[in-house]
Structure 1
Amino acid sequence: MPKYVDDVFHALADPSRRRMVERLAAGPATVSELARPLPMSMPAVVQHLRILQDSGLVRSSKTGRVRTCELDREVLDAAESWFAAQRRVWDQRLDDLGEYLSSTDHEQGRRR
């Protein structure tokens, strides 16, 4: 598994961080805007944002005293590509299993 996928899984493991990512999917937001609906202190919000930034999912910029965050869609797209590849592998495996079970059922029917 690529390292970035581990980082993304870790970042998205927490429900508060998932809420932040969901909010940022709608567009950039200030740290205060991200913190407002969350039942935690500002330092806790900043810690969660640091994890999101370390994973590459979120980047931020500061203008004056206001820090604005936005989603890095390239990292999200890369993680989504990994998921899609895994889905293709498992879809093929399940298709192969279905074919095997069908052929086994068919063989069992001929023996009776």
Structure 2
Amino acid sequence: MPPDEQPTFRALADPTRRDILRHLAQTDMTIAEVAQNFDMTRAAIKKHLTVLSDGGLITVEARGRERVNALNKDGFGPIFDWFSYFDQFWDTRLSDLKTAIEKDTSND
């Protein structure tokens, strides 16, 4: 995996961060709003949000004194690319297997 994809997959590795992404998929939230959904400190939530931001999965915008977190749809590109590669890989392998089986059964 190229080094630039590493932060994205690191961000997805933690179940709490995946849950945060689910919440942010519903609406943009401040740190305090995100923290209300979890049994952990705001500081812990802030660390998770930093990892998600470093992974490019969320954006953080300053609005007055608050920092609002939102999903970054473009940040999911490396994930889609990675899965697409293996989707195509398995499609090709299964197609080759089907061809081989059909060839073998037609020779009987």
Q: TM-score, normalised by structure 2?
A: 0.85
Task: Return the alpha-carbon distance in structure 2 between the equivalents of residues 60 and 14 of structure 1.
Answer: 20
The answer as to 2:88 corresponding to 1:88 is yes
Q: Which residue of 2 aligns with 1:50?
A: 50
Q: Please identify the structure whose Cα radius of gyration is greater.
A: 1
1:11, CA displacement in angstroms?
0.6
Cα distance change, pair 14–94 in 1 and its aligned pair in 2 (3 A): same
Q: Which runs of 5+ in 2 are unaligned?
A: none
Aligned partner of residue 48 in structure 2, secondary structure? helix
| Matches for 1:1-12 after TM superposition, within 5 Å | 1-12=1-12
Q: Which residue of 2 aligns with 1:67?
A: 67
Query: Identity across aligned pairs (percent)?
Result: 32
1:68, CA displacement in angstroms?
0.5
Does the 8 Å CA contact 2:28/2:69 hold for their aligned counterparts?
yes
The answer as to 2:23 corresponding to 1:23 is yes
Task: Return the alpha-carbon distance in structure 2 between the equivalents of residues 87 and 34 of structure 1.
Answer: 34
Aligned residues: 108
1:88, CA displacement in angstroms?
1.2
Q: Which residue of 2 aligns with 1:37?
A: 37
- 1:18-74 CA distance string (max 9 Å, x none): 011111122311111111111111111111111111111112122333110111111
Q: Which runs of 5+ in 1 are unaligned?
A: none
1:5, CA displacement in angstroms?
3.0
Cα distance change, pair 90–5 in 1 and its aligned pair in 2 (3 A): farther
Does the 8 Å CA contact 2:27/2:70 hold for their aligned counterparts?
yes
Does the 8 Å CA contact 2:8/2:78 hold for their aligned counterparts?
no
RMSD in angstroms over aligned alpha carbons?
1.7
Q: TM-score, normalised by structure 1?
A: 0.83
